[in-house]
Chains A and B, each alone.
Chain A
Amino acid sequence: MTAEVTLDAPARAAEAELLMSVADDEFVIGFWDSEWTGIAPMLEEDVATSSIAQDELGHAKALYELLAELTDDDADRIAFGRDADAFRHAALLNHARVDWAFSVARRWLYETADAVRLAALSSSSHEPLALLAGKMRREETYHRLHADTWFRRLSDGAPEGRERLATAFECLWADAQEIFAPLEREETLVGAKILSQPMRELHATWSSQVRPMLEPLAEGLTPAEPSPDGRRRRTDDFRWLHGEFTMVARSEEDATW
């Protein structure tokens, strides 16, 4: 399974951009969720959130390895050797974890969008990506069930949980669109069928799935579109997280792990 056999240089550059966006999403949400380890609302949630975070970091690792193979780079360097501004995750993942309802809302938005994206990637013309996405998709089923369960529990439960959830959705809604922010080399990706559909179509699919579920809960979630810089905006929250997850690697820059 070698990545370089079928791709010409422009397709390789385009796929590198795509892989980095997906890998950074999984990597950053994995680290945010790992912040709940030890302090989740109950023991079972501690285990669940930690397990999901570990899955996401594992997905990020596999995606970074594929990216490293394409660009003749090193997966650890890509993950831990970049400045905060070089990350390309969606703006949704710029926020700190805040409270439990906020983390539930973010995870629900992310998982629903990730499901649409993984379905597209698992039919990619680039076989190594299609195979990896297909495998990830089976695991993500558990994440989606977990997010749906908490979505229902908070939205159908006591007023406080419902209000916190609604507030979180209102805060995150615009930034959630950015999971489908257009990629610079998207035309090449779609042309080579590395990406089966343009991001705007994937966005429309996702939006039509989630808006009917959110409308009864949160007012003011009007249809929104991704923006061209949706994967380039960084926040102080993320700069703090970046400092945390690069701390060990920075402590011994020439170390072999």
Chain B
Amino acid sequence: MVTSVRRTAGEAGVRAALARVADPEIPAISVVDLGVIGAVEVDGRRVRVELLPTFVGCPAIGVMQQRIGEQLRSEGLADEVEVPVVFDPPWTSERISPAGREQLRRSGFAPPAASSPGADVGQLDELAVLPVAECPYCGSRATTMEIPFGPTLCRAIYHCTSCRQPFEQFKRV
């Protein structure tokens, strides 16, 4: 018999619950695999989850904050959830997990170009945004960037010259 219905979530429990929160704009990937979850602090029934936005002006920030709160409350892990937006550390596309890159690919998005070994990701220089993408449909690297801007701030539009499909890439930033 359970003596207390009010349990305290550990940080691991909170992170596991957050892995069930989908990104509002690309639902195939969770906010954890997207790398937008920073520090997590658990203080009894109060949980503080730092949100590192992909872009400063991302209009999905409010929806993410709301869904994170709802998820933790509905799983009974917290009564009060605070989700501040922080830029420390800044989100970079290096924060997308290997599983997240695969989830992006499976849903038709090329993951951001991976940095070359030893590259300085502290600064996004112009070399870093050179158009390199692998077609998520046929795997060809014979692709051209149509435009480095797309339907959301974090996406660029490409065309595959092998299978002739247009596709989007999650931008390197």
- A52-B149 contact in complex given A131-B87, A136-B56, A139-B56, C-beta closer than 8 Å: yes
Interface: B79 (CB within 8 A): no
B148 touches A145 (CB 8 A): yes
B11 to chain A, nearest CB (A): 20
Interface: A135 (CB within 8 A): yes
Interface: A62 (CB within 8 A): yes
B90 touches A138 (CB 8 A): yes
B151 touches A138 (CB 8 A): no
Residue of B nearest to A134 (CB): B90
Residue of B nearest to A30 (CB): B57
Interface: B92 (CB within 8 A): yes
B126 touches A145 (CB 8 A): yes
A227 to chain B, nearest CB (A): 31
Query: Contacting chain B: which of A43-51, A171-179, A185-193?
Result: A43-51
B55 touches A44 (CB 8 A): no
Q: Which of A55, A132, A141 contacts B153 (CB 8 A)?
A: A55
Interface: B129 (CB within 8 A): yes
Interface: A61 (CB within 8 A): yes
Question: In the assembled complex, which residues on chain A have CB atoms less than 8 Å from the CB atom of B171?
Answer: 142
Interface: B26 (CB within 8 A): no
Question: In the assembled complex, which residues on chain B have CB atoms less than 8 Å from the CB atom of A138?
Answer: 90, 92, 123-124, 173
Interface: A1 (CB within 8 A): yes
Near A by CB (< 8 A), chain B positions 55-113 give 55-59, 84, 86-88, 90-92
- A58-B55 contact in complex given A135-B87, A141-B126, C-beta closer than 8 Å: yes
Contact mask B126-142 → A, CB, 8 Å, 1/0? Answer: 10110000000000000
Kindly state the separation between the CA atoms of A47 and B153 in the bound complex, as whole angstroms. Answer: 10
Interface: B147 (CB within 8 A): yes
Q: Which of A47, A62, A136 contacts B150 (CB 8 A)?
A: A47
Interface: B146 (CB within 8 A): yes
Q: Which of B88, B90, B124, B149 contacts A48 (CB 8 A)?
A: B149
Question: In the assembled complex, which residues on chain B have CB atoms less than 8 Å from the CB atom of A127?
Answer: 88
- A44-B56 contact in complex given A134-B87, A138-B124, A141-B126, C-beta closer than 8 Å: no
Report B's interface with A, CB cutoff 8 A.
55-59, 84, 86-88, 90-92, 123-126, 128-129, 146-151, 153, 157, 171, 173
17 A-B pairs (CB sep. < 8 Å): A1-B84, A47-B151, A48-B149, A50-B149, A51-B153, A54-B59, A55-B56, A57-B57, A58-B153, A131-B90, A132-B56, A134-B90, A137-B124, A138-B92, A139-B55, A141-B173, A145-B129
6 nearest interchain CB pairs?
Answer: A58-B57, A51-B149, A131-B87, A138-B124, A48-B149, A135-B90
17 further A-B pairs in the complex, CB-CB below 8 A; given A50-B149, A58-B59: A1-B84, A47-B150, A48-B147, A54-B57, A55-B55, A55-B57, A58-B55, A58-B57, A58-B58, A59-B56, A61-B56, A62-B57, A131-B86, A134-B90, A139-B153, A141-B125, A145-B129
